[in-house]
């Protein structure tokens, strides 16, 4: 570590490191959140570059044209030494692309071994190896550009790359702040060799690490071993700021896991949406003539039915509810399907995104077969306009997650005036306001409780669909619906008002810049600490 470090005075140039960037690569909320960060920063006049593995996207001619990809004159090749003592070669190249106008650097394999890792279409195939070589690529690439004023790493997959960059810049006398955003907590653990100069490229260099109330000099290996080689935990300790997507997730998950000591270097940035009910209604009218049930059925017939795992609904004279989610246990799709046993008035549309969890997919498929004619599961890729229209026309969005850091789909639905029935977990508790507590945007239920979820779905069906309070099974909701004949419109308006006041891009940008300034100040403290 140089005797004297210089920290940026302002944050005008940001490098964002990620494994997803919508719409180029998107499996869940991470890709959309990173896209949002990049676009908002760009609009604010900040120079943004996104760095990520290609995941084979550069091999698709359609994507090459759409995102204006071109190869860069860059190669990082070398040997790594494994635990077995053998040498393993790697060779990484790069492509430049523009996603929503944002300059994006995609690292790719230049030999078979590296390409087999970097160019797999699933972002999380060979994920440990991708993360390790990504760190090597970022260290090498750091000499090709003017250094950033801040490094923003997203989830554990980019932690090693971010810390390697920080160390590389410290050799040059620069204290570059690192903002580590945890979108979804969880990470594997490895011996030091995985992170080391032999494999991923981290040197065991002395540097200053925040310890509750001050910075103290430590080596990378000491910190790594102190957290048992857990990559995410290493990032929490090494980053200048730990950013999360909701206060509930910060307090109930991150602090519970790592301790309250991170309070001084933590911050929250809500995701947001720019969806517009007026724009969606205009699209529906232009394509289907009316914003109503007929349009909903036609959209289902055109986009969902052809790829449905279980065929069309037996009876269209039911309430339609939608559940968009990755096909993983976390999302609780199985709970929602079983909940149909308690919601006879509801048809459920599941828009499932396969992520390679084949055991869970088969389980969900079997549950759906048992309720054939009541549930449709489709993994078809819908145009965004049609997807938004489906959400707009549904009687409710169902989010039965077992845990959920934020819940972007919830605010997207609410922005269109669609009620949300959600598990009372994580960020969903901060998004959805239960109508039983006064003016609300939906219903909150206990996670993993199909009976409670089913009764909530049945109740909301009779609130929003047939508007018959006498059929509502939950007494408290029945009383509210009976006394408030305009309850459906009240719910829709409240949902949109909540989004307007808390979850629009302007709010996200303000929170993000505050996090960046906090990280910059922490880096400044590093720079002046003797």
Residue 443 has pLDDT above 60, yes or no: yes
Size (the chain), residues: 530
| Total-model pTM | 0.89
Cβ atoms of residues 138 and 40 within 8 Å: no
pLDDT category of residue 455 using cuts at 50, 70 and 90: very high
Residue 339 has pLDDT above 60, yes or no: yes
Residue 50 has pLDDT above 70, yes or no: yes
Cβ atoms of residues 413 and 387 within 8 Å: no
Query: Tokens 């084949």 sit at which residue?
Result: 358
pLDDT category of residue 2 using cuts at 50, 70 and 90: low
Token pair of 345 as six digits: 């008035």
pLDDT given for residue 3 in this prediction: 64
Token pair of 75 as six digits: 């190669």
What is the per-residue pLDDT across 344-389, written as a single tens digit (0 to 9) for each? 999 999 999 888 889 999 999 999 999 999 999 998 888 999 999 9
pLDDT given for residue 205 in this prediction: 86
What is the average pLDDT across 60-70? 96
CA distances (Å), origin 149, targets 139, 146, 177, 308, 375: 16, 10, 7, 48, 50
pLDDT category of residue 515 using cuts at 50, 70 and 90: very high
Helices (H) and strands (E) in the chain, counts: 21, 17
How are strands ordered across the β-sheet holding 319-326? 375-378, 346-353, 319-326, 396-399, 420-423, 442-445
Residue 1 has pLDDT above 60, yes or no: no
pLDDT given for residue 355 in this prediction: 83
For 528, other C-beta atoms within 10 Å of its C-beta total 12
Residue 192 has pLDDT above 70, yes or no: yes
What is the per-residue pLDDT across 197-227, written as a single tens digit (0 to 9) for each? 999 999 998 899 998 888 999 999 999 999 9
What is the per-residue pLDDT across 149-189, written as a single tens digit (0 to 9) for each? 999 999 999 999 999 999 999 999 999 999 999 998 889 99
What is the per-residue pLDDT across 267-293, written as a single tens digit (0 to 9) for each? 999 999 999 999 999 999 999 999 999
Residue 295 has pLDDT above 70, yes or no: yes
Cβ atoms of residues 419 and 394 within 8 Å: no
DSSP 503-523: SSHHHHHHHHHHHHHHHHHHH
Vertex 263: Cα angle to 259 and 265 (nearest 5): 115
Q: Which helix (H) or strand (E) holds 242?
A: strand 241-244
Helix spans in 201-299 (H): 220-226, 231-238, 247-249, 255-258, 277-288, 293-299
Vertex 315: Cα angle to 311 and 320 (nearest 5): 85
d(CA 246, CA 298): 37
d(CA 73, CA 69): 13
Domains and CATH numbers, the chain: 13-272+508-528 (3.40.50.2000), 277-503 (3.40.50.2000)
What is the average pLDDT across 387-406? 96
Cβ-in-10-Å burial (0-12, 13-18, 19+) of 205 comes to middle
pLDDT given for residue 374 in this prediction: 96
Cβ atoms of residues 400 and 330 within 8 Å: no
d(CA 333, CA 379): 13
Cβ atoms of residues 120 and 126 within 8 Å: yes
Paired with 178 in beta bridges are 151
Name the percent of the chain lying above pLDDT 90.
92
Query: Tokens 């044209």 sit at which residue?
Result: 65
What is the per-residue pLDDT across 112-157, written as a single tens digit (0 to 9) for each? 999 999 999 999 999 999 999 999 999 999 999 999 999 999 999 9
Mean pLDDT value across the chain: 95
pLDDT category of residue 87 using cuts at 50, 70 and 90: very high
């Amino acid at each position: 570590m140089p005797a004297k470090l210089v920290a940026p005075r302002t944050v005008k140039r940001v490098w964002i490191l990620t494994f997803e960037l919508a719409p180029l690569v998107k499996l869940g909320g991470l890709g959309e959140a990173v896209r949002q960060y990049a676009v908002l920063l760009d609009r604010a006049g900040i120079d943004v570059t996104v760095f990520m593995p290609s995941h084979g996207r550069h091999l698709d001619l359609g994507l090459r044209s759409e995102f204006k990809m071109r190869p860069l004159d860059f190669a990082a090749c070398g040997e790594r030494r494994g635990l077995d003592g053998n040498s393993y070669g790697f060779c990484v190249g790069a492509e430049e692309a523009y996603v929503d106008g944002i300059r994006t650097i995609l690292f790719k394999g230049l030999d078979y071994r590296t390409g087999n890792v970097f160019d797999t279409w699933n972002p999380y195939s060979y994920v440990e190896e991708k993360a390790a070589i990504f760190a090597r690529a970022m260290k090498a690439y750091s000499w090709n550009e003017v250094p950033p004023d801040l490094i923003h790493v997203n989830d554990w997959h980019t932690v090693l790359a971010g810390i390697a960059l920080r160390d590389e810049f410290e050799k040059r006398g620069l204290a570059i702040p690192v903002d580590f955003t945890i979108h979804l907590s969880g990470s594997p653990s490895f011996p030091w060799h995985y992170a080391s100069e032999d494999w991923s490229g981290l040197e065991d260099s002395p540097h200053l690490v925040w310890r509750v109330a001050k910075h103290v000099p430590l080596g990378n290996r000491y910190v790594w071993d102190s957290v048992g080689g857990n990559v995410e935990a290493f990032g929490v300790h090494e980053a200048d700021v730990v950013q999360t997507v909701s206060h509930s997730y910060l307090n109930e998950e991150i602090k519970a896991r790592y301790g309250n000591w991170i309070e001084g270097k933590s911050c929250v940035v809500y995701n947001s949406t720019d969806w517009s009910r007026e724009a969606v209604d205009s699209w529906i009218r232009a394509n289907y003539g009316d914003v109503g049930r007929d349009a909903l059925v036609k959209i289902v017939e055109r986009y969902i039915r052809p790829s449905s795992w279980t065929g069309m609904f037996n009876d269209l004279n039911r309430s339609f509810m939608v559940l968009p989610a990755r096909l993983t246990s976390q999302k609780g799709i199985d709970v929602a399907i079983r909940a149909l046993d308690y919601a006879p008035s509801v048809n459920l549309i599941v828009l499932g995104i396969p992520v390679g969890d084949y055991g869970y997919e088969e389980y969900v498929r079997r549950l759906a077969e048992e309720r054939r004619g009541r549930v449709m599961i489709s993994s078809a890729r819908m145009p965004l306009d049609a997807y938004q229209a489906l959400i707009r026309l549904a009687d409710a969005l169902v989010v039965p997650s077992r845990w959920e850091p934020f819940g972007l789909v919830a605010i997207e639905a609410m922005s269109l005036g669609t009620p949300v029935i959600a598990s009372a977990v994580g960020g969903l508790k901060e998004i959805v306001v239960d109508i039983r507590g006064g003016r609300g945007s939906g219903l909150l239920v206990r996670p993993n409780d199909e009976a409670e979820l089913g009764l909530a779905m049945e109740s909301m069906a009779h609130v929003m669909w047939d508007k018959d309070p006498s059929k509502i099974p939950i007494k408290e909701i029945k009383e509210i619906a009976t006394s408030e004949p305009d309850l459906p419109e009240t719910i829709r308006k409240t949902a949109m008002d909540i989004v307007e006041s808390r979850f629009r891009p302007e709010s996200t940008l303000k929170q993000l810049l505050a996090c960046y300034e906090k990280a910059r100040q922490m880096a400044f403290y590093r720079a002046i600490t003797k």
